[in-house]
Each structure stands twice: as structure tokens, then as C-alpha cells.
Amino acid sequence: MKRTFSVLSAFSAAVFLMCSPMAQAEETGQREYMNACASCHGPAGLGNGPMAEFMSVKVPDLTQLSAQNDGVFPMLDVIQIVDGRTGVRGHGSEMPVWGGQFKADASAAGAYGGEVIARGRILSLAYYLQSIQK
């Protein structure tokens, strides 16, 4: 009985460790979203944030990205749009270039460290957006 418990405990710990980075990424991404995106896209991602009425284009409902892409979350497109440094622009008008902003925020980490931090923040945000798909 003791051996079964320890095997089960080891298995549970392994599952927790494997799931933990994704859960942490979503939690970090949710914080990023609330700080950087919710003012336009709304707290639930429905495109109804307090700044949406001032936009020249309709702010997209971010919970429908998969539905609009045959049920597949467009991860690379989302990353490139959020990053903004590749020339892909969000919803038809100027959207903040979060890649540049996130890198500037991490300038103390140096050029390469700042880039790694910026990409991590963007990836966490993309994972969060993937988690709120309907």
C-alpha cells in the first residue's frame, strides 16, 4: 500500500509540474491582459472596454478568435499582432507596439535579456487569450 501511495504521489507531482508552467503563463498573461488590453478590449475580452467607444474601428471580441479561424486558435497571428514589431497591425488601425514597450520595460536586462522578457510576456498573453476562447 505504501508503494502505491508513493507512485501515485510521484505521478501527481509530475502532472503538477508539467501543468504548472502553462497555468503560470495564463495567470501572468491575465495580468498582462488586464494591464495592457482590457481598457480597449474589455475585462472579458468582448471588445467593450471603456476606451472602445473612442476607437475609429470596432474593437474585436478576443473570445472569438478560434471561432473565426475554423476552431483553431491562431497563435502565431496573435503573437505577431500583439508584438507589433513585425508590421502586422491589430484590427485595422494603430495598436500599441507591445513588443517594443515590453522590451523597453526590461531594458535593465540588456538587449538580449530584454528581448527574452518581452517575448515571454507576449507568449503569456497569447496563452491567456487562448484560454478565454468560446
On the question of pLDDT at 31 being above 90, the answer is: yes
- pLDDT given for residue 4 in this prediction: 44
- Please write the tens of the pLDDT for every residue from 96-113: 788 888 888 888 888 788
- Please write the tens of the pLDDT for every residue from 116-125: 999 999 999 9
CB 38 within 8 A of CB 63: no
- Please write the tens of the pLDDT for every residue from 1-24: 444 444 444 444 444 445 566 667
Q: Cα 65 vs. chain centroid, distance in angstroms?
A: 13
